[in-house]
């Protein structure tokens, strides 16, 4: 079995799909395995060719990595990379299936078996393959660090000879993986942290991190039985989110927004009026930027100032922390490969939920229904 690890070519991508330690472990556990790593592939993540060589990998030119049985990548393949792949080869990586359905079609046309890390089901058995959660955790951490760096004020409460400084107020919208990590990080930096999510069960998780859960207040006529009333309240809260969140946003020095339902455009939570009501110098880090943003003024991939508020729309925060991002990502890729091994050959069971869901293309067709729907 051969695994190829090409150097990533997407602008700004610093991660590498396999790090030397993880490669070393795979080589020790799988018989007759060759891992071919392109020269310089680990550079962005501070791994030299010599490190790969010492781990037992073959350091080779680009063509040889694309000639392997399994090609392990981080970013979705470029057109040139798709053209290098062919019948019988397996591609493992982030493939942006819903954002780039045409890439899926091109991979299918070339007879490639493509496994998308984004499509790994979030079930406990697949936890060690959950690259998305690993990267979201890094995204949440970096968002809080980046906000602290840009805020022209302290995060923690400080008592100095010249007086006491109040702690920054950080509001995190969306308490999924990224949001909870942002909450935990802002908390460790000493800020007063608030969390909000549309899912009520997240309240407990937010509170267990020492943050306060934000409850949106609606005042509507109680003209139904109790269950009907509760439903009406929830509907009203959803429809009026930007307006109901506004007073909470106005009080925040930092807003980190992570609200998303996979495959849907990011919900609008912060309108221009809310930005204008924030204090000068406040910071918004919009992690939902790649999906359109939770803030109306976010410019994807840019840092702007509007109404004297700094608005960041990062698209690849994990690439700002390539050492741990590559290490964790490599572990999920290795787990995916190991899961599909059958007597030292890669022969995944496509009836198994993990491969049934993560398989984007196989046998010349796009396997995922939603992606097929996008292709019409
Ligand atoms: P997740 O699915 O675990 O969490 C998203 C949360 O948003 C869920 O808890 C969901 O209930 C909540 N949500 C959905 N709609 C909402 C609404 N209208 N109001 C309030 N909450 C709502 O996802 P995650 O893994 O935490 O990732 C969150 C986002 O961060 C994703 O968009 C992900 O792509 C992005 N991300 C971006 C970067 C970057 O560099 N920009 C890095 C990592 C993650």
- DSSP character string of 240-266: THHHHHHHHHHT-SEEEE----TTSPP
Residue 349, pLDDT score? 97
- Please enumerate in sequence order all residues whose Cβ is within 8 A of that of 208, keeping only pairs 6 or more positions apart, or say none: none
Using the mean position of ligand 1's atoms as its centre, give its distance from the Cα of residue 176 in Å. 6
Q: Which of 52, 89, 105, 130 is catalytic?
A: 130
- Please enumerate in sequence order all residues whose Cβ is within 8 A of that of 60, keeping only pairs 6 or more positions apart, or say none: 36, 37, 38, 39
Q: Is the CB of 259 under 6 A from ligand 1?
A: yes
The residue whose CA has the least distance to atom 2 of ligand 1 is 176
Q: How far apart are CA 292 and CA 206, in angstroms?
A: 25
CA-to-CA separations, 206 to 143, 169, 187, in angstroms, rounded: 17, 15, 11
Q: How far apart are CA 322 and CA 103, in angstroms?
A: 25
Q: How far apart are CA 360 and CA 77, in angstroms?
A: 13
Is 96 a known active-site residue?
A: no
Residue 226, pLDDT score? 65
**pLDDT tens digit sequence for 336-362:** 999 999 988 999 999 999 999 999 999
Here the ipTM equals 0.94
Q: Is the CB of 175 under 6 A from ligand 1?
A: yes
Is 130 a known active-site residue?
A: yes
Using the mean position of ligand 1's atoms as its centre, give its distance from the Cα of residue 315 in Å. 13
What value does the CA radius of gyration of the chain take, rounded to a whole number of Å?
Answer: 23
**pLDDT tens digit sequence for 100-138:** 999 999 999 999 999 999 999 999 999 999 999 999 999
Q: How far apart are CA 177 and CA 27, in angstroms?
A: 32
- Please enumerate in sequence order all residues whose Cβ is within 8 A of that of 261, keeping only pairs 6 or more positions apart, or say none: 267
Residue 238, pLDDT score? 80
CA-to-CA separations, 130 to 18, 82, 105, 158, 288, in angstroms, rounded: 15, 24, 24, 39, 19
Q: Which of 78, 127, 224, 264 is catalytic?
A: 127
Selection from 352, 327, 347, 351 nearest residue 337 by Cα? 347
Selection from 92, 18, 42 nearest residue 336 by Cα? 92
Classify residue 295 by its DSSP letter: B
Tokens representing residue 199 in the block? 């899912």
Residue 264, pLDDT score? 85
Q: Is the CB of 139 under 6 A from ligand 1?
A: yes
Residue 221, pLDDT score? 66
Residue 227, pLDDT score? 66
Tokens representing residue 303 in the block? 């840092």
Using the mean position of ligand 1's atoms as its centre, give its distance from the Cα of residue 352 in Å. 27
- Given a cut of 70, the residues of the chain with pLDDT beneath it are 220-227
Using the mean position of ligand 1's atoms as its centre, give its distance from the Cα of residue 264 in Å. 11
The number of the ligand 1 atom at minimal distance from the alpha carbon of 140 is 43
Is 282 a known active-site residue?
A: no
Selection from 247, 220, 241, 242 nearest residue 231 by Cα? 220
Residue 232, pLDDT score? 77
The residue whose CA has the least distance to atom 34 of ligand 1 is 288
Residue 222, pLDDT score? 58
CB 145 within 8 A of CB 158: no
Residue 371, pLDDT score? 95
């Amino acid at each position: 079995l051969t695994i190829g690890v090409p150097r990533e070519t997407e602008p700004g991508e610093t991660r590498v799909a396999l790090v030397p330690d993880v490669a070393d472990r795979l080589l020790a556990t799988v018989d007759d395995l060759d891992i071919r790593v392109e020269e310089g592939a680990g550079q962005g993540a501070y791994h030299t060719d010599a490190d790969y060589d010492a781990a037992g990998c073959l350091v080779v030119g680009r063509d040889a990595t694309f000639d392997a049985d399994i090609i392990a990548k981080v970013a979705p393949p470029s057109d040139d990379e798709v053209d290098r792949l062919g019948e019988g080869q397996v591609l493992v990586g982030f493939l942006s299936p819903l954002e780039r359905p045409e890439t899926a079609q091109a991979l299918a046309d070339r007879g490639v078996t493509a496994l998308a890390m984004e499509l790994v089901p979030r079930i406990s058995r697949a936890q060690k393959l959950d690259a998305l959660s690993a990267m979201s955790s890094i995204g949440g951490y970096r968002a809080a660090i980046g906000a602290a760096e840009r805020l022209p004020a302290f995060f923690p409460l400080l008592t100095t000879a010249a007086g006491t400084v109040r702690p920054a107020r950080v509001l995190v919208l969306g308490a999924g993986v990224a949001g909870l990590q942002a909450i935990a990080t802002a908390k460790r930096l000493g800020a007063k942290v608030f969390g909000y999510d549309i899912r009520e069960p997240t309240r407990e998780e937010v509170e267990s991190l020492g943050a306060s859960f934000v409850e949106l207040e609606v005042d509507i006529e109680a003209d139904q039985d109790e269950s009907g009333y509760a439903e009406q309240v929830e509907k009203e809260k959803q429809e009026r989110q930007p307006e109901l969140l506004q007073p909470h946003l106005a009080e925040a020095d930092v807003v980190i927004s992570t609200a998303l339902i996979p495959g849907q455009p990011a919900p609008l939570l912060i309108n221009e009026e809310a930005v204008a009501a924030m204090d000068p110098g406040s910071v918004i880090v919009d992690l939902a930027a790649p999906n359109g943003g939770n803030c109306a003024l976010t410019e994807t991939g840019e840092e702007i100032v509007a109404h004297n508020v700094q608005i960041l729309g990062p698209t690849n925060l994990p690439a700002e922390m390539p050492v741990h991002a590559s290490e964790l990502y490599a572990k999920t890729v290795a787990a995916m490969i190991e899961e599909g091994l059958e007597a030292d050959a890669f022969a995944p069971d496509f009836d198994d939920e993990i491969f049934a869901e993560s398989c984007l293309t196989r046998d010349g067709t796009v396997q995922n229904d939603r992606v097929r729907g996008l292709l019409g």
